Structure 1
């Protein structure tokens, strides 16, 4: 089964927010990358961080590390280093020993999904590893990146990593792009093994159920950890991903966002990711 690119594009045009529409233009229609940067400027705050629900599960305007990570993901997708310096300065100001939390209690004054509670205020590998990994991917040096890298290596190699599945997946992002490739290659199999044995990991598709999958680990065909995954499992998830396209051209969201606006924003995000994944693997 194959999904349809044109109906996915129509869904994004009708329901997606401007960021995903601009990213689609750059990635699939040779659009100008500057358009993505211009959209991200609208989510910036005076402290250099990003907020305003850039990650749509909380509608808080204040800068949050998780929103900075979403901005870094968009910049990495287009290969731009704009806006990174002030954002890293912001991360320096909210870090503890190089680590940052996902969010802060300020989110409690705004609508948010039920899972955004106190656990998100603890500094840790989620999102520190993802942020540092993306900075390495973009080859952007900064003192915060260095402090975060030191914290992450110490956490990974000392056996202090928790079993929290999303955090482990963030660690794989760090290991995918950190310059010390021998060190990263030695560490990655054990991290991946902990992900794939988690109850949250779906070795085979469970339609409509939230979880991490082989496509979370290797969202693109050239993902560095693809060779550590079972190809049959990857193929099964690719078939399911293609089958999950809805009649309106978009993909569903298997969790409960805090509002209808948030739901549509998330559908745009997961639709763009589905298109990127399926196109990369030659399934669209």
Structure 2
């Protein structure tokens, strides 16, 4: 099987490539600004906002499956339009599509979100991810949309942010709750879904709901750092309009997949 990983230079995309190559797959990985640093991956530069370029690449590679991970936090063209272009091109060549989405599509509330709840975005990035989901579902009803949360692991932006906050260089919110997932667990789940017939939205996140500030304390304990210097605030005090409590109920994914989605407490304790 030939697998195309769109966004292979990113944190998740790179891990998907590593695991796919280790399993003996033929992997093509795209990049735009960064580089694909995974041995065994055939790297191709791609601008996902260029619809013709996306179609041309997929027509050339003829992948059996596509894992789409690209996003840019403040760029609608990459996050929304790019997802639509990839979905269209994947459907053209008959490739299985696994589209990676985000819990940012939800507005936030105390109770967990189930897999099929419609998006209720409250900020631009969430709106772009919601638009991407709509485009993917309209183009390819058989695609699976992986709604995930904060992606952690050595080298992740989330862990680095916690270390920066512990050093006084950044601030963590006490009132923003998420369900962090380890990058190796998420990549393994994504590759399982490549070989499945699961369609539509599927929550794939860790079982622990923690605030960003609590994540910082867990990182401090795991790294032997002094938690006393942790800088915290609330999203309300910051003036930012973002979802507060976003808990994903991933029980359906836990029942479908062999991969065990570990909680962040277990991950950082080990």
Length-normalised TM-score, structure 2:
0.30
Choose between structure 1 and 2 for higher RCO, CA contacts under 8 A separated by at least 6 residues: 1
Structure that is richer in strand per residue: 2
Higher helix share: 1
Query: TM-score scaled to structure 1, two decimals?
Result: 0.29
